Amino acid sequence: MRVFTRVVLAAFAVVSTAAAQRPADHGAAVILLGQEPATPVPTLISGSANAAVADLLFLRLARPGRGLLTTDERSFEPELARSWSRRDSLTLVFELDPRARWHDGIPVTSRDVLASFGRMRDSTVDPVRALLLRQLASVTAEGDRRVVMRFRRAYPEQFYDATFHVQLLPAHLIDTIPPGRFAESRFAREPVGSGPYRWVRRDPGQRLTLAGNPEFFLGAPKVDRVVFLVVRDVEAALNLLLDGSADVYEAVPPVSGPQRLGASPSLQVLAAPSFSLTYLLFNQRAYGDRSLPHPILSDPELRRAIAIGIDRTTLIRSTYGGYAAPAGAPVAQAHWTFRLVTDPLRHDPAGAAALLRQRGFRDADGDGILERDGNPLVLRLNLPTTSATRMMMATQIQEQLRRIGIRIELVRLDAPVWAQRRQRGEFDVDFSGAVLDPSPTGIVQAWTCAGQSGSNHARFCEPELDRLIDRAMTAPRTGEREWRDVYGALQRAVPAVFLASPQNVVAVHRRYRNVSLQPESLYRDLWRWSVDPARRIARDR
């Protein structure tokens, strides 16, 4: 074995000395992803892995600042737009940065902005983005470097809509590709962006390699070789970190992971707020028959009883350790409105039992489960087997609710079957998880009457809440008071038990400096990272 190891080391020594010497604070990063970034190209993106890579290749006009305040354009940081101004409440003007170049050396111009917005506002190309950009009336160019955007109405998130949803594509490369053939095009296979990293290659199912763009106009990346490895198994990912083959992993199990990785002196575990949310969704309509109200869950008082019968603090402690906060509404820790939520649904089993009694439920047969009109209080909780966290929480929820006389039947389903049943309304309670948009207005999709044709699977509809949401979205300033009212109304209606807003638990090698992880895109600032020269390892040289 020793001889074999020596031969291998000798071969590597030859390989590494052949490589050119690089600056002392430059290096490489091997980042582990749980999903494969198969198409990290705007308009084709789905899933967080694609988004993580696309954010290194493609820039926006501007990006949300540190506070992620989506309603204040002054808090945004410039990317391809050097500056911006307003002509009136409906018109935004962007000045493009003259230093910006595509990876093939062609300057970024207003033609690129027009082409990109043209594609993304086309509902046949990207229906979701087209919906998000529906308030944008026109995008026009004034010369090569100035772009004017006009909106249909005044609202606080105009700037967010104009910048966050669209990563620019190079017009000179995409104009000749018919939208219907875009996914199969060479551009989709070897994308050319304007971001800090250039495309190198993708080995399907294994890895995706990027190289630092030395001409990047905001500063050449010091971590200039980046490999995204696809590792679906958590154990394999942790082993790769521990044996030094990988540098960063974003899905560290929050309870066992930090302790295990803590054994390695070269690793640190960091927590970053996320836009993730887990919640129990109450079906407002009968199981599998949306023409009828749900016999139990259409009553808000019964929903409240269930909500206060669950001890979220204990649940969060046992499943997330210190890496999550209780959520009181459909907002996550990284939202700027998170601090506006006050949660009145504290754990109160006695109160829950009283509410159930008030609604006519009694344990007539002494089996510990309440009945009404001879029907036991039984609810089916659907959950996907792919989520270990949800499986663990569900068992605890089952036990907590059993103590107040509610029997929960856990229906563990394969992910596609679980998602299908949710879409068809075949559930009493659904254990949902979501990664939300940075804007609190994302609430429209799942919690309004209009959302019933889309992702409002529970068919929750409260016209008064819709009115409050509309008021908050069009509030003259940030709309803090209005959003507070929205969350208050949601808590009164109890359409779901908002359980937790987990953090991203990320393992990062200690040799990196200036590490910052952004909630809306963890590796957005990777190009600002550098390597401590004293701690360089072989793959940095």
Residue 439 contacts another protein per CB under 8 A: no
21 or 453: CB nearest another protein: 453
8 near another protein (CB under 8 A): yes
Q: Tell me how many degrees the CA angle 395-400-401 measures, rounded to the nearest 5.
A: 100
**360, 365, 369, 371: CA torsion to nearest 10:** -30
DSSP state of 205: T
For 17-54, the three-class secondary structure string (H helix, E strand, C coil) is HHCCCCCCCCEEEEEEECCCCCCCCCCCCCCHHHHHHH
Q: Which ranges in 89-152 belong to alpha helices (H)?
A: 110-120, 127-132
**# residues near another protein by CB under 8 A:** 65
Taking alpha carbons only, the member of 50, 39, 52 closest to residue 517 is 52
Residue span binding another protein (CB under 8 A) among the ranges 149-157, 404-412, 418-426, 506-514? 418-426
* Interface with another protein, residue 3, by CB under 8 A: no
Distance CA 404, CA 309 (A): 7
| 12 binding another protein? (CB under 8 A) | yes
Residue 207 in the binding site for another protein (CB under 8 A): yes
For another protein, which is the closer residue by CB, 418 or 483?
A: 418
Binding mask 445-484 for another protein (x = CB under 8 A): xx----x-xxx-----------------------------
Residues in 164-183 at the binding interface with another protein, rule: CB under 8 A: 183
Check residue 190 for interaction with another protein (CB under 8 A): no
Alpha helices in 134-185 (DSSP H): 158-164, 171-174
If the CB atoms of residues 51 and 353 are measured against another protein, the closer one turns out to be 51
> Looking at 345, 434, 449, 515, which residue binds another protein (CB under 8 A)?
434
For residues 257 to 286, the per-residue mask of contacts with another protein, x marking binding by CB under 8 A and - elsewhere, is ------------------------------
Contact 135, 150 (CB under 8 A): no
Contacts for 171-176: CB closer than 8 Å, 24+ residues apart: 171/109, 171/111, 171/112, 171/114, 171/115, 171/116, 172/102, 172/106, 172/112, 173/102, 173/104, 174/115, 174/119, 175/115
Task: Compute the least distance from the CB of residue 125 to another protein, in Å.
Answer: 10
Binding site for another protein (CB under 8 A): 1, 5, 7-8, 11-12, 14-16, 18-19, 28, 30, 36, 38-39, 46, 123-124, 127-128, 131, 183-184, 188, 203-207, 209, 225, 227, 229, 231-233, 235-237, 239-240, 242-243, 245, 386, 414-417, 419-420, 422-423, 433-435, 442, 445-446, 451, 453-455, 539
